[in-house]
Structure 1
Amino acid sequence: MTVATLIVAAGRGVRNGSDTPKQYRRLAGRVVLARSMEAFLSHPGVDLVMVAIHPDDEFRFEELRASLPPKKLVLKAHGGATRQESVRLGLEALTAYSPDIVLVHDAARPLLSRALVSRAIEAAEKHGAAVPGVPVADTLVRVGADGVVAEQADRSSARAIQTPQSFHFPSLLAAHRAAIAHGLGELTDDGAVMRAAGHSVHVFEGERGNVKLTWPSDFEEAERRLGAALISRVASGYDVHAFGPGDHVWLGGVKIPHDQALVGHSDADAGLHALTDALLGAACDGDIGAHFPPSDPTWRGASSDLFLKFAADRVRDLGGVIDHLDLTIVCEAPKIGPHRETMRERIAEIADISTHAVSIKATTSERLGFTGRREGLAAYATATARLPERSAA
């Protein structure tokens, strides 16, 4: 049997407390959609993954897809104005691959387990149409227009329905086409689409941890859950560059006027180089010279923000979270104080963390050593990050 997964990721997620659609927000260092996709890409029973995206998210999705290991075929289709329409368009795109079974999953449920995916596949094979559900723990009531409880429902047979929902592919596609033909365009999930077409829908065991991220508090709770599985790492970085002829230096990603320049193969930004090494140290992933050797002409004159972004992404690719970056610059000149806040903002932007998580300090060496003689400057960095215990680059 060929099993395809259709992930619905075309929504805007306006309730999640961010300008970024919730499926592209980071959760414990990784993009939500990447976590959802990985659950299926890593499952031996799934053959391919189709993602229904919003047309405005082309760049976001392509960047995300390029960052994923090439485990299986990852396809995309443009979604529609509603979830139901997005699913139908994704199913139509899947017809070229003729899967036997399709699992339909919401991108905003990134915490599902491999066992849940296995149960979904088994349920589709056995029943043709199945949805995961969990018992309802809270009391259920119906409320009248006046805000008064009108009726208390029996919760013993009630289930909260989740995804992935699993179906015989031709049947689900036909049911979606029939729903549109009959003007049924506002059905809330694919189980409802199948029931509208006259199919019986089986409920299999879901997972309480398989929550849908909707509100800011959902993200906070998911961060806590994932963070509990991470361990803290503290790593350091160091760099030094000599002064040479010029009229400015690059430090912390900021161009600072000066009567000399820093000499180096790239832009010689000692601050960003030290931070890059600190993050690579947290990831146990070598040093800046291993990834960007000075013998490689590709990096001649390169902006060092490329190096820092690479290191930050390496931490996140391992499922890590960057908690804090600390940078100390040792020099007699230029003065760092007037540029400190701009540097903090630029480093935070490059590493994709909060400005509040970036600290910059400056000191002199009391005219001792090469920095005291104004022959160059030095940078010391410390990175604090949380990563999975068994992560390795």
Structure 2
Amino acid sequence: MQEPSYPIYTIVVAGGTGSRMNAPLPKQFLPVAGLPVLMHTLLRFHAYNPAMPLVLVLPAAELATWKDLCLQYDFRVTHQVVAGGKTRFQSVQNGLAALRIYEDGVVAVHDGVRPFVTQAIIHTAFETAHELGTAVVSVALKDSIRRVTGNVSKAVNRNAYKLVQTPQCFRLPLLRRAYEQGESSQFTDDASVVEKFGHKIHLVEGAYQNIKLTTPEDMLLAEAILAAERSNQSPKQ
């Protein structure tokens, strides 16, 4: 896979507390197949381009924990760690501030607890954003859905909806200007921030394995995904 000819950067946001995981550690630090989830995530982007600047945004209270984990696991992927804000919006702002020395290129924003993004998805997202300005990874719905209003539910066409994932890629100057807007409760992700700024969002195909680890059941699935990947990479007898 040919490396991009333009500058690229990645901001990994890992601000969750893991309340739905019912675990003693924040979910980004939980071990999967011998490594904390967050290390798997950073390794995916490092593998795509080892020279790409990686910015990791963590809650200020967890910076020491992450430093200890990096020592414990001898984790040597080069990355810059910055403290997040009270909201995801503020955390991405802090991540962008860490890239202030760069003027141009394409930046990806990715959830720290999505450790199974593929090289092909990363590449397509960067290339599309370079060409069109924006690229948001998404997948089609597999289940039927219903709209609920009060006590009444009504079937709706699932083909009219997409499940949004990360990475979400943007030209760096565009994302920087979009995050100069005032924060709004309507901002659910980076795409909504850029859309409010007046830019069209272009969707690119994701993958169902690119899950966001949120519940204990997700951790079981994560182990299975990694086991299957390692099996496929094993030398054939």
TM-score by length of 2: 0.89
Provide the residue aligned with 1:168 in structure 2.
Answer: 171
Query: % of aligned pairs identical?
Result: 32
One-letter amino acid of the structure 2 residue matched with residue 194 of structure 1: V
Contact 1:128–1:168 (CA under 8 A) maintained in structure 2: yes
Q: Distance in 2 between matches of 1:114 and 1:21?
A: 26
Following superposition of structure 1 onto structure 2, how do residues 34-183 of structure 1 map, counting pairs within 5 Å?
A: 34-44=39-49, 47-66=52-71, 67-70=74-77, 73-146=78-151, 148-149=152-153, 151-178=154-181, 180=182, 183=183
Three-state SS of the structure 2 residue aligned to 1:88 is helix
* Larger strand proportion of the pair: 1
Following superposition of structure 1 onto structure 2, how do residues 236-251 of structure 1 map, counting pairs within 5 Å?
A: none
One-letter amino acid of the structure 2 residue matched with residue 173 of structure 1: R
Shift of 1:92: 1.6
Q: Distance in 2 between matches of 1:6 and 1:34?
A: 14
Q: Distance in 1 between matches of 2:106 and 2:69?
A: 26
Provide the residue aligned with 1:360 in structure 2.
Answer: none
Q: How many pairs are equivalent? A: 227
Shift of 1:228: 3.7
Shift of 1:157: 3.0
Over 3 Å counting, the alpha-carbon distance change for 1:46 and 1:197 in structure 2 is farther
Shift of 1:32: 0.4
Higher relative CO (CA 8 A, sep ≥ 6), structure 1 or 2?
A: 2
Q: Distance in 2 between matches of 1:34 and 1:49?
A: 12
Provide the residue aligned with 1:308 in structure 2.
Answer: none
Shift of 1:129: 1.1
- Bigger radius of gyration: 1
Over 3 Å counting, the alpha-carbon distance change for 1:99 and 1:41 in structure 2 is farther
User: RMSD between aligned alpha carbons?
Assistant: 1.9
Q: Distance in 2 between matches of 1:221 and 1:45?
A: 28
TM-score by length of 1: 0.55
Q: Does 1:196 align with 2:196?
A: yes
Contact 2:11–2:107 (CA under 8 A) maintained in structure 1: yes
Q: What 5-or-longer segments of structure 2 have no aligned partner? A: 1-5
Provide the residue aligned with 2:214 in structure 1.
Answer: 214
Q: Distance in 1 between matches of 2:89 and 2:184?
A: 10
Q: Distance in 2 between matches of 1:137 and 1:20?
A: 32
Provide the residue aligned with 2:3 in structure 1.
Answer: none
